[in-house]
């Protein structure tokens, strides 16, 4: 029966929505996490136009009788709204106020880049004696020139990072600069864990600055089209952006999803009963 197919497709989609909500709740306290929202799309439907003419008089609905085939998960949309600020007073903790992402070079795959809103960095000494900003996964922060940010400093030096990404060491400006990157349509990128999204550069391009735009300061080397992408984002030192998950809203979504799952499970049970009754009928 059609009702079995409709309910079973709905159960599959609702299970994905339940997993998405559960993942949001699990990352309630994850730094820089952006919640996802499941949206559904309708499957193909059949249209029957053989109803009597009298049924078509004065009707306000479209012509024909539509019999659907259920729904499927259309997408899990990324919510990029700003999360709450947590002040840490740690000099290497950075928070983006506004749009944009930090860009890091992956430790496991040095030729790959990832962007993230998680600004919980630490200073790590390189073999050359310089220091780099790294996250918990060991990925290194990338500067405006497409290379890793490296500082020739002493561990006792005072580091100040301004809102536009300039780095001051004991009050003296360093050549390195931390940009906020513009990522076109972040929801289309693959989420690879650790709150990072994989950035795959086009063939023949080794510098991410050639395909990404800066948001918070002028760059005369950029084409005008990318310069127009600036929206005034800035960096706040000594603070972290927490998850933008709203516990109350997620609990409401969880209850609604559970009730939808229960409804469709009940529909399958009723369809089974109807098929059982039809199977038990005997002709006289």
Instruction: Convert the pLDDT of each residue in 1-34 to its tens digit.
Output: 677 778 888 888 888 899 999 999 999 999 999 9
CA dist list (Å): 230 to 99, 207, 217: 9, 20, 7
d(CA 165, CA 237): 10
Q: Residue by residue, what is the 3-state secondary structure of 163-191?
A: CCCEEEECCEEEEEECCCEECCCHHHCCE
User: Whole-prediction pTM value?
Assistant: 0.77
The crossing angle, in degrees rounded to 10, of helices 247-280 and 2-26 is 160
d(CA 144, CA 174): 13
Per-residue pLDDT of the chain in tens (284 residues, 90 and over written 9): 677 778 888 888 888 899 999 999 999 999 999 999 888 777 766 666 665 555 556 666 666 666 667 777 777 888 989 999 999 999 999 999 988 899 999 887 767 889 999 999 999 999 989 999 999 988 999 988 788 899 999 888 999 999 888 999 999 999 888 988 888 778 778 888 888 888 877 777 777 777 776 665 544 444 443 443 445 688 999 999 999 999 999 999 999 999 989 998 998 898 888 888 888 886 55
Nearest CA among 251, 275, 211, 234 for reference residue 2? 275
d(CA 113, CA 115): 7
Residue entry with tokens 């159960």: 11
């Amino acid at each position: 029966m059609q009702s079995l197919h409709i309910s079973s497709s709905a159960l599959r989609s609702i299970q994905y929505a339940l997993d998405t909500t559960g993942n949001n709740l699990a990352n309630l306290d994850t730094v820089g996490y952006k919640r996802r929202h499941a949206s559904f799309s309708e499957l193909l439907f059949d249209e029957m136009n053989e109803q009597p003419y009298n049924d078509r008089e004065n009707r306000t609905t479209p012509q024909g009788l539509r019999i659907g085939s259920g729904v499927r998960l259309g997408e899990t949309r990324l919510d990029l709204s700003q999360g709450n600020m947590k002040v840490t007073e740690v000099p290497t903790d950075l928070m983006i106020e506004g749009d944009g992402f930090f860009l890091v070079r992956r430790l496991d795959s040095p030729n790959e880049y990832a962007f993230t809103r998680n600004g919980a960095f630490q200073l790590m000494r390189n073999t050359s004696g310089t220091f780099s900003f790294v996250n918990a996964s060991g990925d290194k922060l990338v500067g405006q020139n497409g290379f890793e940010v490296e500082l020739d400093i002493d561990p006792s030096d005072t580091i100040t990072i301004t809102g536009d990404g300039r780095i001051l060491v004991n009050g003296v400006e360093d050549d390195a600069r931390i940009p906020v990157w513009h990522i076109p349509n972040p929801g289309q990128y693959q989420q690879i864990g650790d709150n990072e999204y994989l950035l795959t550069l086009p063939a023949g391009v080794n510098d991410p600055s050639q395909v990404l735009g800066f948001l918070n300061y002028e760059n005369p080397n950029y084409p005008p089209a990318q310069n127009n992408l600036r929206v005034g984002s800035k960096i706040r030192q000594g603070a972290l952006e927490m998850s933008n998950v709203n516990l109350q809203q997620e609990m409401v979504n969880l209850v609604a999803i559970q009730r939808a799952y229960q409804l469709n499970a009940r529909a399958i049970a009723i369809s089974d009963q109807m098929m059982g009754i039809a199977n038990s009928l005997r002709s006289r």
